[in-house]
A = this chain, B = another copy of it.
Amino acid sequence: MSFSVAVSGASGYAGGEVLRLLASHPDVTIGAITAHSNAGAPLGELQPHLHALGNRELVETTVANLAGHDVVFLALPHGASAGIAAQLPEDTLVIDAGADHRLEDPIAWEKFYGSAHAGTWPYGLPELPGHRERLRGARRIAVPGCYPTSSLLALAPGFAAGLLEPGDVVIVSASGTSGAGKSAKVNLLGSEVMGGMNPYGVGGGHRHTPEIEQGLSAAAGEQVTISFTPTLAPMSRGILTTATAKVRPGTTATALREAWSAAYADEPFVHLLPEGRWPHTKAVLGSNHTVLQLALDEHSGRVVVTCAIDNLTKGTAGGAVQSMNIALGLEETAGLTHQGAAP
């Protein structure tokens, strides 16, 4: 059997990546492909790499066009998905790649996003403790942010195992520019970004901060506080996250390794690397995989975890498809079995 799928926001990077993965998915049929200002154009004009779908015409993002599918992916600007989702049948699987339904705390939502909270949906990061179960049979899924995906995968095992202090977490992430979207902005021009790096959203203001804290706190069973600094790197795709926390007294390198190793032993997409190897974003480019490594810095009493994902795949569309597979009862890796391209 094949599930029919509609994809909105198809002219952007997130929507394009959803389509890229779905085009090779054995269990889905791609139905409506929608956009806003680009409605009417063939997809090939906007996503010239999607040869299998190049002649498909983009239609307007309306409830009417999205309805009637088994699955609807929403890759829309923040604030746009709640209204549409409310008008789709309850038994349609709606997967929101935007932020609207990620946070549990309405106050945090309003502080960071400045609008009314639209509610909380099951969080599409199955590798977190207890999350996979909540996704089975779900009909509404919030896709995690790209920085939270890498940060939570980096640190959750240590908090779940009770090895880390909750009050002193520092996370610095470098992201490729596709994470900033496809809108034309001078500071994102190739001439501006090639050959350089810059931080942004420094000092706690980034919207992913409460999302990361929410996930780590759930794993820890107590409030975790983080300092998060995102930076922009001169590459199209990829996130490299360096996450560090104080270890509780007496925590050994062996205990740390065992915690992470156990957490991901059966995960198809998350890999604690053998000792001596370090993550590289090119090792996950275009794939749904996550690679990470950890080191205990006894001098400073910190564990340093480095973690690489592709922000568009595991960090957005791949995680979304993985969650869809779980919700629909499909093989979790369906449509995600290709290897990423390197070098």
Contacts and interface: CB of A to CB of B under 8 A. Distances in A.
A214 interface: no
Given A203-B304, A229-B306, A338-B24, A236 B194 contact: yes
A342 B330 CA distance: 26
Q: Which 3 A-B pairs have the closest CB atoms?
A: A203-B295, A196-B282, A286-B341
Contacts of A178: 191, 343
Contacts of A337: 24, 52
Contact of A229 (B194, B229, B237, B242): B242
B182 A184 contact: no
Contact of A238 (B192, B197, B296): B197
Interface in A185-199: 185-186, 188-199
A188 B191 contact: yes
Contacts of A231: 174, 240, 242, 306
Interface string A146-175: 000000000000000000000010101010
Given A186-B182, A188-B189, A233-B233, A287 B49 contact: yes
Question: How many copies of this kind of chain does the complex include?
Answer: 4
A176 interface: yes
A340 B282 contact: no
Interface string A76-89: 00000000000000
A264 interface: no
Interface string A267-281: 000010010011111
Nearest to A225: B300
Given A49-B285, A183-B186, A196-B285, 20 more contacts: A13-B343, A20-B339, A48-B283, A48-B291, A188-B190, A192-B282, A192-B343, A194-B234, A194-B236, A195-B237, A196-B281, A197-B308, A198-B280, A199-B293, A202-B242, A227-B297, A229-B304, A234-B235, A285-B341, A286-B341
Contacts of A204: 295, 297-300
A306 to B, nearest CB: 4
12 contacts: A23-B338, A24-B338, A174-B197, A174-B231, A189-B189, A190-B236, A196-B235, A203-B296, A227-B244, A227-B297, A231-B306, A236-B343
B197 A240 contact: yes
Interface of A: 13, 16, 20, 23-24, 44-45, 47-52, 54, 168, 170, 172, 174, 176-178, 180, 182-186, 188-200, 202-204, 209, 225-227, 229, 231, 233-238, 240, 242, 244, 246, 271, 274, 277-287, 289, 291, 293, 295-300, 302, 304, 306, 308, 337-343
Contact of A191 (B202, B304, B343): B343
Contact of A185 (B16, B184, B194, B202): B184
A202 B286 contact: no
Contacts of A189: 177, 182, 184-185, 188-190, 343
B49 A194 contact: no
